[in-house]
Structure 1
Amino acid sequence: MNLKCLRQLGASWRRSTINKMNNRSDFIVISDMVAPNSRILDVGCDDGSLMQMLQESKTVNARGIELFPDRVNLCLAKGLSVVQGDANKDLAMYPKNSFDYVILSKTLQSMLQPKETLEGLLRVGKRAIVSIPNFGHWKVRLYLAIHGQMPVTPSLPATWFNTENIHLCTINDFLELCKNMDINIIKSVALDKNGKVLNFANRLRSVNLIGEQAIFLLEKNNHG
């Protein structure tokens, strides 16, 4: 492959990443939570779009771990540093405070033990960024009430018997878990179906009702 082809391929990847970023408001929120020149680990990094965007916008030193080989290959084709692995087991292999941020984007609900996963994120990283789909959204509640079945929605597109999502929770559930685990929530942002930011302040009940997803910046509480 000649230099011209490589440049064209690189430009195509960049356009693809920008398009995905424009379609993923959560990526922009996550980027705002990351300091420039940080070391990050993206757990369940999919095709590497978030990693690539953070490298370009925040000049981060990014690493990724992804379960599925085809997605790992997509990342490697983009020149990203990604390994194939199962975060349910492999987070334990990383040393303490190896990264400034460990990111888990819309993946917590598919982990075998979400509580242990959060503990692992905050052991490996000085801070963690976690995003979750909100199972407390009013459309989910209405679907359950009317149909008496697990909902299939744009944010939860798979049927109950064919989904990776095994630990669905609401925004309130996640807040309670952080409280029980003594995790400090530095920043929290909810997004509606259009990607519009919803303010948490004094609106917890409504945010849990109309927020389709939420993103949290977390750190361990230090007691002396």
Structure 2
Amino acid sequence: MNRIMATLRPDLAVIAGHVAPGAKVLDVGCGDGTLMAALRDERGCDVRGLEIDPHNVAECVGHGLSAIQGDADTDLALYPDASFDYAILSQTLQTTKRPDMVLEELLRIGRRAFVSFPNFGHWRVRSDLLWRGRMPVTRLLPVGWYETPNIHHLTIADFRDFVAARGLKVEGAWYLNGDSLISPAMATWRAEHAVYLLSRG
């Protein structure tokens, strides 16, 4: 693994490692452009970003990345059909107002879509709710209920049902416990995060 890929957040490293070299990519909720830079510099991709935070957009532009300010809930409609090989939504699905519509837009814009999200069915989350009766605060969910950007709390089981009900094809699925990949067995309990690669069935 090269130096830049090794510094990526684990879910971003999974995504970057499975994007085809030279692909055209839209990173929705691109943050400061860390993934965009890795895809550009290490995979030779043509990468564009959409980001709601103007300070993050400025940081992307300052690093020579093509990013614009926009909201995934409203601004994806501006992109033409099949205009990207991949549309990426990392750790953002649960923060959108209508994740179902956002995912539909991702698969309209991109031939494939990467989606990563925290698994609220992880055993530590279940334990906090069961034994303490409180919303959990963990390393990967580090803020209290009143300040979290997460407005939809989904589990891996929820997402699997969601995808199946819509007839979407799962081309790949990866599960992370901390910084390590784990097997799909018991992922609904053991995985803190999940990454899916989807396409139209």
The TM-score with structure 2 as length reference comes to 0.96
Residue aligning to 1:172: 157
The runs of 5 or more residues in structure 2 that have no matched partner are none
Asked if 1:64 corresponds to 2:44, the answer is: no
Tell me, in whole angstroms, the C-alpha distance in 2 between the residues paired with 1:25 and 1:148.
Answer: 30
Residue aligning to 1:197: 181
When residues 66 and 209 of structure 1 are mapped into structure 2, their CA distance, relative to the original with a 3 A threshold, is same
Size of the alignment, in residue pairs?
199
Q: Is the 8 A contact 2:8 2:34 kept in 1?
A: no
What pairs up with 1:60-209 in 2 under 5 angstroms? 60-193=45-178, 195-200=179-184, 203=185, 206-209=186-189
Residue aligning to 1:3: none
Describe the superposition over 1:119-141 as per-residue Cα deviations: whole angstroms up to 9, x where unpaired: 00000000000001010100111
Q: Is the 8 A contact 1:33 1:217 kept in 2?
A: no
Tell me, in whole angstroms, the C-alpha distance in 1 between the residues paired with 2:16 and 2:57.
Answer: 22
Q: Provide the aligned C-alpha RMSD in A.
A: 1.2
Deviation at 1:32, TM superposition (A): 2.0
Opposite residue 189 of structure 1, the aligned amino acid is W
Deviation at 1:25, TM superposition (A): 1.7
Opposite residue 125 of structure 1, the aligned amino acid is G
Q: Is the 8 A contact 1:55 1:61 kept in 2?
A: yes
Residue aligning to 1:216: 196
Larger Rg: 1
The runs of 5 or more residues in structure 1 that have no matched partner are 1-16
Tell me, in whole angstroms, the C-alpha distance in 1 between the residues paired with 2:10 and 2:145.
Answer: 26
User: Between Structure 1 and Structure 2, which shows a larger proportion of helix residues?
Assistant: 1
The TM-score with structure 1 as length reference comes to 0.86
